[in-house]
Structure 1
Amino acid sequence: MKHVAAFSAILTILFLSIYPSDQVFAENSGDGNAVVDLTLNEEEGIRDPENPGTIVDPGETPSTSGKLRLDFVPQLNFGQYKRSDKDQLYPVNGQLFLDETSARGTFIQVADFRGGAQGWALQVRQETQFKNDQTTNTQLNGAVISFDKSWTNSVSGLDNAPTVSKDIIRLSNIGDTYNLAEAKPGTGNGIWSIAFGASADNAAGAPATLSPRMQEGKAVTDSVFNNQQTYENIAVQLSVPGGTKKDPVNYSTVLTWILAELP
């Protein structure tokens, strides 16, 4: 019997504050008052992070509502592997879609329609270590998720793009909050993809990080996405020390994605 350990990061919680109205009033004094009510043209739909003018179908996802919101967050799955006594790096599955869109890197979609480009911060927090309470070795001590090769994209162009880290972000301290992207005041309005990794076909010049996932020489498929070929995305990885005791079971954790207003 083949022993494998399956790893998945389960997204369950999102947070969003209450935001003020995006109405702007301009007045002109004299014989009378003139008032103009300016509102943004609020767009909807999940965008292809590599072709933001195209609406895609990544399946169901938790999301938030409001003028500043999270439209899409990834559900991370690190696949199935044989148990190992050596240090291992497990790449996450690339993002698949229920339409004809090819696999993409891991991405989050942020929308800001408050008006005035007030700024925001995208953050993530890992609530617990990878664990399974139904087995002998209940958690993967020392396991760390990392995010790399970050970039942004938007149908409105990159002149007002949020900033992303050029360094690898490691969630090494459980319960700590880590910044993934920040839109300073004057930037980040509209719809933005914050992506980690990309396909070789992307036109933005982002490093290609996807490759077909194979197991014993055979393509690994995903039944959730109509049995499409799955891809490894080395931009997001799970490292597990070889000395960590582990059982042939599924281990999971909870990530909290946070979209916050700037002070």
Structure 2
Amino acid sequence: MKQVKLATLLLLPLFSAALFGFSETARAESWSGNGKVGFEGSYEKEIRDPEHPDQAADPGDSPSTDGDLRIDFVPQFNFWANAKVDEDVMIYGNAQLFHGDTGARGNFVQVSDFRGTGKGWLLQVRQETQLKNDTAESKELDGAVISLGDSWANSTRSADEAPIVQKDVIRIDNIGQTYNLAEAKTGTGEGSWAIIFGASIENENGMTDTLIPRLDAEGNPVTDPTFDNKAIYQNKALSLSIPGATKKDPVAYSTVITWILSELP
């Protein structure tokens, strides 16, 4: 089983085709000829709006892999906490923002399969370490759990070609364990697919809106200068829980999330 991995802090083919046929003889007898088709261009990486996959979108830089089966984009999970250090904490992560006109969306991974074999693939996720800060007095957030829910898949392809996504909430409560996110069975998952956690009110797929504005203490929208000062949204499909008994300092903690894409036999 071949795997590609990414660690993090549809594509529409452009081609022209020419079909060369054949002509028949005047005699009433069978005849065979050769047909050819020529293509120009390539399946270049292009990130699509996960809710409107017929439209290109710019979510900023992301690690990616190469090849005919690849990961085009992975999210970075950002959580902001404003709570007393001795309280149980449940924080929603920031939703995905984009440059340009694309609105806020649920956090997503984009997978592309242009192998042409229809053999399928498996997308998984793993948290490599507990959230930690080696310079803090309390170096690790023991018992902290990242959860992913409201998962769905979207593409310009038909729904019967979609990979199967994990519908239960994924609680990454075992550090180092690999969790299945989506599996494309034989004959499915070809082309480009977004595996999305949550959705905006703009989605046309019947998904529940999981985005809520992030407000400051005065009730004003918090904005992100990285994305043209757009308003930041919290995504209820992405959460982080920390027990009140866990010792935590008022510092930033971080971890490594690994995304794994595997070919199926």
The TM-score range, normalised by the shorter chain, is: 0.7 to 0.9
Give the 3 Å change call, closer, same or farther, for CA 35–219 of structure 1 in structure 2: same
In structure 2, the partner of 1:209 is: 210
In structure 1, the partner of 2:7 is: 13
Summarize the alignment of residues 110-121 of structure 1 with structure 2, pairs less than 5 Å apart: 110-121=111-122
Q: Distance in 2 between matches of 1:147 and 1:252?
A: 17
In structure 2, the partner of 1:127 is: 128
**Cα deviations across residues 197-249 of structure 1 (Å, max 9, x unaligned)?**
00012100111100100120222111211221100001010011011100010
- Alpha-carbon deviation of 1:165? 1.3
- Alpha-carbon deviation of 1:86? 2.2
Q: Distance in 1 between matches of 2:171 and 2:6?
A: 20
**Cα deviations across residues 145-175 of structure 1 (Å, max 9, x unaligned)?**
0110000100122121000111111111000
Matched-pair identity in % = 54
Match of 1:236 among 225, 228, 238: 238
In structure 1, the partner of 2:259 is: 257
TM-score, normalised to structure 2, is 0.84
- Alpha-carbon deviation of 1:41? 6.8
In structure 1, the partner of 2:191 is: 190
8 A Cα contact 1:83 1:248, kept in partner: no
Bigger mean CA offset, 188-197 vs 150-159: 150-159
In structure 1, the partner of 2:167 is: 166
Describe the SS at the equivalent of 1:62: coil
In structure 2, the partner of 1:224 is: 226
In structure 2, the partner of 1:74 is: 75
8 A Cα contact 2:214 2:222, kept in partner: yes
TM-score, normalised to structure 1, is 0.85
Q: Distance in 1 between matches of 2:239 and 2:61?
A: 23
Q: Alignment length, in residue pairs?
A: 237
8 A Cα contact 2:119 2:264, kept in partner: yes
Q: Distance in 2 between matches of 1:51 and 1:81?
A: 34
8 A Cα contact 2:224 2:232, kept in partner: yes
Structure 1 gaps, min length 5: 1-10, 15-30
- Alpha-carbon deviation of 1:58? 0.4
Q: Distance in 2 between matches of 1:87 and 1:38?
A: 62
Q: Distance in 2 between matches of 1:241 and 1:80?
A: 13
Describe the SS at the equivalent of 1:64: coil
Describe the SS at the equivalent of 1:256: strand
Describe the SS at the equivalent of 2:189: coil
In structure 2, the partner of 1:99 is: 100
- Alpha-carbon deviation of 1:87? 1.6
Q: Distance in 1 between matches of 2:209 and 2:236?
A: 9
In structure 2, the partner of 1:51 is: 52
- Alpha-carbon deviation of 1:33? 10
* Structure whose residues are more often strand by fraction: 1
Q: One-letter code of the match for 1:259?
A: L
Larger Rg: 2
Give the 3 Å change call, closer, same or farther, for CA 32–48 of structure 1 in structure 2: same
Describe the SS at the equivalent of 2:176: coil
CA RMSD in angstroms, aligned pairs only = 2.2
Give the 3 Å change call, closer, same or farther, for CA 38–113 of structure 1 in structure 2: farther
Bigger mean CA offset, 222-231 vs 57-66: 222-231
